[in-house]
Amino acid sequence: MIALAPALGLLFLSAVPQDESPRRRLILENGAIVLAERLPEAKSLSVQLFAGVRGVSEARETHGWRHLLEHLVLKGSDGKLDDRMESQGVFFTGRTYRDAIQVEFTGRTDRLESILDAIGEILQPLRTTPDAIAREAAIMRHELAGVSDSAKLSRTAWQAAFGDAGIDPLGEAEAIAKATPDALEQLRQRHFSPHNLVLVVSGPIDPERTAGILRKRLEGLEGTESGTRPARIGQPGRLEADDCFGEVRGGLVKNLRDAGAVLCAAYGVAARLDGAYVTYTPTDEAGLVIIGRTDANNTVGEFIDRLEEGEQAAIFPIGKLLAERWLAGQLGTPSGSAYLRGYLQVQNAALRPEELLEAIRKTGWPEFKAALGRFQKSYTVIAVGVKG
Amino acid sequence: MIVLGLLIASQQPAAPTVTVSELVEPSAKQTRVEIVVGLPDQDRETWACANVLARVLTQGTHNYTSYQLLTYATLAGDPIRIAAAQDHLRIGFAVPAGDLRLALELTDELVREALVPEEAVTAAIDELPFRRRSPWLEAWMPWKMDPKQLGRDDVLALYRRAFRPGNVSIAVGGVLPQGEARRTFAQRFATWQATDQGRPRRGAKVEPVTGRAGMTTISVWGPVVSPIPAVTTSPAESYTLAEASLACVMLGQGKGCSAYRVLRERNGWSYRQEAMLRPSQDGLQAGLVFGTSMGGDAAELAARARVQLAEDVGKWGEPERLRAMELARATQELGLPLGVIALSGERPLSQSLEDRTYLEAYWRARTGRSWNWKALLDDMRRVPLERAKAFAIEWLSTGTTTVIVGR
């Protein structure tokens, strides 16, 4: 048997390598940001376009239009963009988050120009028809029907914490079906306005040269500054999630730095609970760090509420270690690093994932203990699955 | 039909040992251990018992508490993964780079010293019938279980019966000195003598899954191929792993595949559709799964889908083949989140260290050989287009349909 304490001590000394990856960022005159990052050992290139939500708040009657827009723009000019990219060994996908639409391409470095051509197509005005919208809305009904239990619990927790300001980005089928070509084009103009755009390339590239290439692709775009981001104010609460199994607790966080200690606490708890997971989407706004289980429906809260000080102290080092390793792991891959950097910069040009890393590293026992409190019954956000 | 079973025992009849293989990668960030334990009986009751065992293996060993096991096994930042598949039980975890001593200790504890505590078994048996899995996992493993007639004795019997020399394959990947894992692990298990205490008494009820809200999944199960190159389970048709793999990518991987174009884009019948190979008693079985929220007769929809897909396969030409090969190549070289093999879940095994180490352990167990993505890719390049088409047509025309109707 091996003693735990010395092993942990050694790991803390060398847990996360220093970030020496050179990067080049340019803020263009039209407001768009381009960022090129060199990860010399990476095998692939990750190219990610982010379209932020300044001036693009979503209401109940338009709930899911952003998601629909993501589906439609990814089809490209001839509806066969995916086929053309895959024939070059490039895979791409889109995701709609609360704070941005993300389009991610993965390919070899010699495919950069082709990928940027594809992004050029995505940024063109939307040419769609009511029939095409109806077809896509029908496909999205299948997507919404297949939402996982963890996603249902998460969206319920967000609803409990933030009300309508936290509505799930996937949307509602009925609202999606009511979108029109004109309304979607207007939405696209605001969502994909240069002020809302961040383009990131991460991989084995020359940052200076690549940033120049990216600049040429985006500097000609025109658009007006499109407003502010919708604010979120969170509060503790409890809601039931229909027709799913499991339980989540959400720790309320005010911003990115505030999330550091809360992530440590979440990982500490999850390490102790077999089958538990942690989710957090980095944001400059108020958000949630979620601890959940979908294979049991009463163990997460029970465990947290009964945690005695001795056990809290025992999970402190492992929670901190796992949070650091999660973030370092993300920053070590083209896909993870481009996502974190792009998603943060599209919210606030000054934000960097290193701030979160620093907050995690600075988390001491008092901060950890206080962060655990954010998951305790009276202060947390709870979502539990119930039979439909 | 050739029944492969696990080959380890038959290849080393004199003195069965634990199979240990290595994937040395000095640039990795961790050292990964993947353990594949063959299920001794290929029936669903054994699978139910294995599911209970998967839930209780980390609940303490003779030398570690549950807390210590979970803590040590997550030191490298990844959770421990234990899952029951159709033909094996998988245990996977990571330790800090180069810490072979910890890797060996944890392996030994989980493989030989699990306590299988009564209260944990009871809790797992109570929970399993109510456990909700994603519609995709249900589609790939379309059975639900009610193991309430099982007891600790049954679970322990499976532990003793399955966890024995000759039936355990361990792969160690990532940072490790060449040969060191083979030497130390082989040494540790050299004198292991396990006692088979017989089969579990048959108490579990395993039934087809009956579906979940809003989502119907339709699966078409096709031919079975041997994981060993050039060895086929069905000599009359003589399909190979490479032929099946190419057909999988052309039929159901990526956005340019037949299933995406026909089921999603042309008809709007589904959002997600995919084709992969899953383990079975006889080898790897081709499966195509799509999910739909359409009402009506799902069996009729399945029949229409099969006809339209077969028509599309009939039109496959060099552009479709080129797309598939480029995607397969990118999957292998760049680590795209795609792949043709799903061993113990709905997710295809990718090029991550975790997945490659897992495949190595599985491949050694099933074939006695090392897993080799590059060789498979080379074989796929040599597959004549007509062979991939013939495989897909047989899959769609003679395969078995499973429908899990959503409520």
Q: How far apart are CA B350 and CA B362, in angstroms?
A: 14
- For residue B201, what pLDDT is reported? 66
CB within 8 Å of chain B, chain A residues 171-210? none
Q: Are B247 and B395 in contact (CB under 8 A)?
A: yes
Q: Tell me, what amino acid is at B269?
A: W
Q: Are A211 and A28 in contact (CB under 8 A)?
A: no
**Residues composing chain A:** 388
More confident residue, B236 or A347: A347
- For residue B202, what pLDDT is reported? 64
- For residue B10, what pLDDT is reported? 44
C-alpha distances (whole Å) from A225 to each of A29, A50, A54, A67, A216 are 12, 16, 8, 22, 20
Average pLDDT over residues B151-155: 90
Running DSSP on this structure, what letter comes out for residue A334? Answer: H
Secondary structure, 3-state, A107-124: ECHHHHHHHHHHHHHHCC
Query: Comparing C-alpha atoms, which of B15, B26, B27, B36 is closest to residue B371?
Result: B36
**Residues composing chain B:** 407
Q: How far apart are CA B292 and CA B315, in angstroms?
A: 25
Distance from CA of A30 to the nearest CA of B (A): 33
Question: Is the minimum CB–CB distance between B183 and chain A shorter than 8 Å?
Answer: no
- For residue A353, what pLDDT is reported? 97
- For residue A6, what pLDDT is reported? 37
Residue B196's pLDDT band (cuts 50, 70, 90): low
Query: Tokens 């606490």 belong to which residue?
Result: A265
Residue A44 in tokens: 């692939």
Which residues lie below 8 Å from residue A178, measured CB to CB, with a gap of 6+? A61
Query: Comparing C-alpha atoms, which of A200, A215, A213 is closest to residue A37?
Result: A200
Which phi and psi (to 5°) does residue A340 adopt? Answer: -60, -45
Contact: B76, A325; criterion CB under 8 Å? yes
Give the β-pairing of B81-84 and B88-96. antiparallel
Which phi and psi (to 5°) does residue A264 adopt? Answer: -60, -45
Give the β-pairing of A381-386 and A247-253. antiparallel
Q: How far apart are CA A141 and CA A184, in angstroms?
A: 18
Contact: A145, B264; criterion CB under 8 Å? no
- Claim: this prediction has a pTM higher than 0.95: no
Contact: A43, B101; criterion CB under 8 Å? no
Residue B58's pLDDT band (cuts 50, 70, 90): very high
Q: Name chain B contacts of A244, Cβ cutoff 8 Å.
A: 132
A5-9, B237-241, B291-295, range with the lowest pLDDT: A5-9
Crossing angle of the two packed helices B44-56 and B152-162, in degrees rounded to 10: 100
Q: Tell me, what amino acid is at B224?
A: V
Tell which of A86, A243, A244 to mutate to test the B interface (max B CBs under 10 Å).
Answer: A86
The chain B residue lying nearest A82, using CA atoms, is: B255
pLDDT tens digits along A63-122: 999 999 999 999 998 888 998 999 999 999 999 999 999 999 999 999 999 999 999 999
Q: Which of A41, A89, A148 lies at the smallest CB-CB distance from B330?
A: A89
Residue A302 in tokens: 């029970």
Which alpha helices (H) appear in A164-273, and where do they start and end? Answer: 173-177, 181-191, 207-218, 259-272
Query: Comparing C-alpha atoms, which of B53, B255, B301 is closest to residue B159?
Result: B53
CB within 8 Å of chain A, chain B residues 242-261? 254-256, 260-261
Distance from CA of B70 to the nearest CA of A (A): 6
B92 beta partners: B34, B81
Average pLDDT over residues B197-222: 75
Which residues lie below 8 Å from residue B191, measured CB to CB, with a gap of 6+? none
Q: How far apart are CA B125 and CA B120, in angstroms?
A: 9
- For residue A286, what pLDDT is reported? 95
Question: Judging by beta carbons within 10 Å of its beta carbon (0-12, 13-18, 19+), is residue B68 exposed, middle or buried?
Answer: middle
Q: Name chain A contacts of B76, Cβ cutoff 8 Å.
A: 325
Q: Which of A87, A149, A294 lies at the smallest CB-CB distance from B326?
A: A87
CB within 8 Å of chain B, chain A residues 114-153? 135, 138-146, 148-149
- Helices then strands, counting H and E runs in chain B, come out as 15, 11
Distance from CA of B12 to the nearest CA of A (A): 31
CB within 8 Å of chain A, chain B residues 133-172? 134-136
pLDDT tens digits along B376-390: 999 999 999 999 999
Which phi and psi (to 5°) does residue B328 adopt? Answer: -65, -40
Residuewise pLDDT in 10s, chain A (388 residues):
444 443 443 333 333 333 445 899 999 999 999 999 999 989 899 999 999 999 998 888 999 999 999 999 999 988 889 989 999 999 999 999 999 999 999 999 999 999 999 999 999 999 999 999 999 999 999 999 989 899 999 999 999 999 988 999 999 999 999 999 999 999 999 999 999 999 999 999 999 999 999 999 999 999 877 688 778 899 999 999 988 889 999 999 999 999 999 999 999 999 888 789 999 999 989 999 999 998 877 789 999 999 999 999 999 999 999 999 899 989 999 999 999 999 999 999 999 999 999 999 999 999 999 999 999 999 999 999 987 6
Average pLDDT over residues B324-332: 93
Q: Name chain A contacts of B70, Cβ cutoff 8 Å.
A: 271-272, 274
Q: How far apart are CA B309 and CA B246, in angstroms?
A: 16
- For residue B44, what pLDDT is reported? 73
Q: Name chain B contacts of A43, Cβ cutoff 8 Å.
A: 333-335
- For residue B274, what pLDDT is reported? 95
Q: Are A157 and A374 in contact (CB under 8 A)?
A: no
Which residues lie below 8 Å from residue B372, measured CB to CB, with a gap of 6+? none
Long-range own/partner contacts, residues B189-192 (CB < 8 A, 24 or more apart): B189/B17, B189/B18, B189/B108, B189/B111, B189/B165, B190/B17, B192/B18, B192/B112, B192/B164, B192/B165
Average pLDDT over residues B6-34: 77
Residue B236, pLDDT above cutoff 70:
no
DSSP string, A197-218: EEEEEEESS-HHHHHHHHHHHH
Q: Are A376 and A305 in contact (CB under 8 A)?
A: yes
A48 beta partners: A104, A200
Average pLDDT over residues B129-148: 79
Share of chain B above pLDDT 70, in %: 89
Distance from CA of B215 to the nearest CA of A (A): 5
Q: Which of B130, B265, B272 lies at the smallest CB-CB distance from A146?
A: B272
Residue A4: count of CB within 10 angstroms of its CB = 16
Long-range own/partner contacts, residues A220-225 (CB < 8 A, 24 or more apart): A221/A30, A221/A32, A221/A123, A221/A194, A221/A197, A222/A30, A222/A194, A223/A30, A223/A31, A223/A189, A223/A192, A223/A193, A223/A194, A223/A195, A224/A193, A224/A195, A225/A31, A225/A54, A225/A193, A225/A195
Residue B251, pLDDT above cutoff 80:
yes
Question: Is the minimum CB–CB distance between B262 and chain A shorter than 8 Å?
Answer: no
pLDDT tens digits along B298-325: 999 999 999 999 999 999 999 999 999 9
Which residues lie below 8 Å from residue B336, measured CB to CB, with a gap of 6+? A44, A91, A106, B327, B330, B350, B351
More confident residue, B148 or B370: B370
Helix, strand or coil, per DSSP, at residue B252: helix
